[in-house]
Amino acid sequence: MITYKTTGTCSREIQFDIEEVNGVKTVHNVQFVGGCNGNLKGIGRLVEGMPVDEVIRRLEGTMCGTKGTSCPDQLAKALKNA
């Protein structure tokens, strides 16, 4: 389990796993601590089993109001750092 401390969002951290099969890294078991519980559970379910690069491509740059980031954007940052 990888843990990433978020910044600039209501969630405090993101926990997730990355599995590699045949050279493709995929995202699993995404859990946000804090934040909008239902929405963040939904994001976790939507990205389950998706290639890491695809999750980053889809979520990076998503903004929440005027915060300059969002929980989905923080997940993209976490995956880039992993």
In contact, 3 and 18? CB cutoff 8 Å: no
**CA-CA-CA-CA torsion for 43, 47, 52, 55, nearest 10 degrees?**
-60
31 is written with which tokens? Answer: 């859990």
The string of pLDDT tens digits covering residues 21-34 is 999 999 999 999 99
* pLDDT recorded at residue 36: 93
The string of pLDDT tens digits covering residues 7-53 is 999 999 999 999 999 999 999 999 999 999 999 999 999 999 999 99
* pLDDT recorded at residue 38: 95
Helices 71-81 and 37-47 cross at an angle (nearest 10°) of: 40
* pLDDT recorded at residue 46: 98
Q: Measured between alpha carbons, how far is 77 from 42 in angstroms, rounded to an integer?
A: 18
Q: pLDDT grade, residue 69 (50/70/90)?
A: very high
From the list 20, 17, 19, the residue with the least C-alpha distance to 30 is 17
* pLDDT recorded at residue 1: 96
* pLDDT recorded at residue 53: 98
Can you give the residue ranges of every domain in the chain? 2-81
